[in-house]
Amino acid sequence: MAAVPVWSVDPRTGKRREQVAVEATAEEVDTAVRAAHAARGALADRAVRSAFLRTAAAGLEAARDGLIETADAETALGPVRLTGELARTGYQLRAFADIVDEGAFLDVVINHPDDTATPPIPDLRRYKVPLGVVAVYCASNFPFAFSVAGGDTASALAAGCPVVVKAHPDHPALSELVAKVLRRAAAEHGIPEGVVGLVHGFRAGIDLIEHPSVAAAGFTGSIRGGRALFDAAAARPVPIPFHGELGSLNPVLVTQAAAAERGEAIGVGLAGSMTLGVGQFCVKPGLVLVPSGAAGDGLVKALTDAVSDTEAGVLLDHRMRDDFIAGVAERAKLPDVDSPVTPGAGGEHSVSAGFLAVPAARLAEEGAYDQLLEECFGPVTVVARYADEDEAAGVLSRLPGNLTATVQLSAEEAAGQGRGAELLAELTPLAGRVVVNAWPTGVAVAPAQHHGGPYPATTSTSTSVGGTAIERWLRPVAYQNAPAALLPVELTDENPLGLPRRFNGVLER
């Protein structure tokens, strides 16, 4: 079979830039997975893999100019956005290095024997060990932070798991460059370069998830693609965990009091959030419940003015552009749907931002308007005008799982007067992150962060951002009555590594 070339394409023109690689065959996927599997032992020393992560961060920063130039040529996201994203990626790598150094992620628990307990407790010692090779599927819209050196890779390496990355076709040249940086960093610490594998091609993604030596997978992308891989992971002779981020509408509820108090500011903020990155953020607000009446009118006017001033932008590839134009056109044809600012084609290779408006009552019942409750990737949102609280609640009750849900409250409601707490409780079942008086775009890399949510936002209850993302690639194991001379050093009474642990019920730091 002839090799299938992998091309780097400029989304601003639709023209090929260069051939980067060829699509990986099943044999080449097997070679990459075997090399990663063989590199597991080199990650066993926490000090080594912590140093590796820090060196990788420094290497990305040292190569910044070339990386950003290539990323911009392949994604059209712009140097300012990409510079910030690369800085975030370096910070994330160092944050996981700190987690590795601290050691709390090992979750060490030791119980000495207790014959007085019912039933008696034997000597038990528990901690977490790495799963093995992790398959990472890159996102289109974050060529650094959710790609070859992104959160899935960083957290997997921190856990002690080698990775094989399936590159995204929208930035193959950048993927190759970043993989080289990571491999150089690995070599500096005596780690085989195979600890970070890279493959291209749709079929390679299927071969990867089906490989018997792959122990888990992380994915960021579409519902259709993610669900296919999720099903493949479950259908294996030995099923594996699949942590997929698939899609999210990210609803926003604006209360009557909030719209009356600061409707103009909310409208301007919404415009900035929904058009950020040409609407290509996974946490873009795609549905906004706004009260009917004068207060809501002021918000919609401010939104109209702000979105009208937004320049046309280039999406990540022409397929996404075609899907966006077709999707908004189909939605706009529905009865009672208006386009105060019409989204669609902004030029031969670009799109223009806009929003659709519809009575919330249309969305409260199943039917032709269900499409408005589905994510549309690009700079568009749906403004649903509700007549009363029950109508708004009826729409929220129909929504699937989301990454985020946002509520805009008045000052009094935020202070505990009114239904503020009740609204938070209503939104909590819908999303993994509930935002109050802010906007969901912008996902901070922080210990308390949660970037996940009920299906279809994600296929598991874990997060792909923040320190606890490392937990996806670990499993607990307990040793019972194991002689001290045979125990892993992490589980000895003496605790020579100074690990945080729970020792006979007492938390030791």
The whole-angstrom separation of Cα 404 and Cα 387 is 24
Nearest in space to 57 (alpha carbons), one of 100, 88, 81, 83: 88
* Claim to verify: residue 200 and residue 96 sit in the same structural domain: yes
Q: Is residue 508 part of a domain?
A: no
Q: Do residue 240 and residue 281 come from a single domain? A: no
Q: What are the pLDDT digits (tens) for 436-488?
A: 999 999 899 999 999 999 999 999 999 999 999 999 999 999 999 999 999 99
> Inter-axis angle of helices 64-75 and 79-102, to 10 degrees?
120
Single pTM value for the model: 0.96
Q: Is residue 54 part of a domain?
A: yes
Tell me: do 158 and 270 sit in the same domain: no
| CATH code (residue 261) | 3.40.309.10
Same domain? For 238 and 309 the reply is: no
Residue 233 is part of which domain span?
24-100+129-246+461-473
Radius of gyration of the chain (CA): 25
Do 140 and 188 reside in the same domain of the chain?
Answer: yes
Sorted by sequence, the CB contacts under 8 Å of residue 32 that are 6+ apart come out as 24, 164, 194, 197, 198, 199
Tokens for 334?
A: 């529905």
Do the Cβ atoms of 497 and 477 come closer than 8 Å?
no
Q: What burial class does residue 15 get, using C-beta atoms within 10 Å of its C-beta: 0-12 exposed, 13-18 middle, 19+ buried?
A: exposed
Any domain includes 230: yes
The verdict on whether 161 is a catalytic residue reads no
Count of structural domains, the chain: 2
Report d(CA 49, CA 57) in Å as an integer: 12
pLDDT score recorded for residue 135 = 98
Indicate whether 361 and 260 sit together in one domain.
Answer: yes
Is 245 annotated as catalytic?
yes
pLDDT at 242 (0 to 100): 98
Residue 448 lies in a domain: no
| Residues 264 and 192 placed together within one structural domain of the fold | no
CA distances from 274 to 217, 378, 379, 433 (A): 30, 8, 6, 17
3-state DSSP call for residue 112? coil
Tell me if 188 is assigned to some domain.
yes
Residues 210 and 271 in one domain: no
Query: Residue 312 gets which letter from DSSP?
Result: P
Q: Is residue 442 part of a domain?
A: no
In the set 74, 85, 210, 245, the catalytic residue is 245
Residues 54 and 154 in one domain: yes
Which amino acid is present at 506? Answer: V
Reading the chain (509 residues) residue by residue, the pLDDT tens digits are 689 999 999 999 999 999 999 999 999 999 999 999 999 999 999 999 999 999 999 999 999 999 999 999 999 999 999 999 999 999 999 999 999 999 999 999 999 999 999 999 999 999 999 999 999 999 999 999 999 999 999 999 999 999 999 999 999 999 999 999 999 999 999 999 999 999 999 999 999 999 999 999 999 999 999 999 999 999 999 999 999 999 999 999 999 999 999 999 999 999 999 999 999 999 999 999 999 999 999 999 999 999 999 999 999 999 999 999 999 999 999 999 999 999 999 988 999 999 999 999 999 888 889 999 999 999 999 999 999 999 999 999 999 999 999 999 999 999 999 999 999 999 999 999 999 999 999 899 999 999 999 999 999 999 999 999 999 999 999 999 999 999 999 999 999 999 999 999 999 98
Residue 204 sits in the same domain as residue 232: yes
The per-residue b/e assignment along 120-150, b for 16 or more CB within 10 angstroms, e otherwise, is eeebbbbbbebbbbbbbbbbbbbbbbbbbbb
User: 74, 282, 375, 391: which is the annotated catalytic residue?
Assistant: 282
The reply to whether 288 and 303 lie within a common domain is yes
The answer on 328 and 241 residing in a single domain is no
In a domain, 116, yes or no: no
- List the one residue out of 266, 231, 235 whose CA is nearest residue 252: 266
Tell me if 148 is assigned to some domain: yes
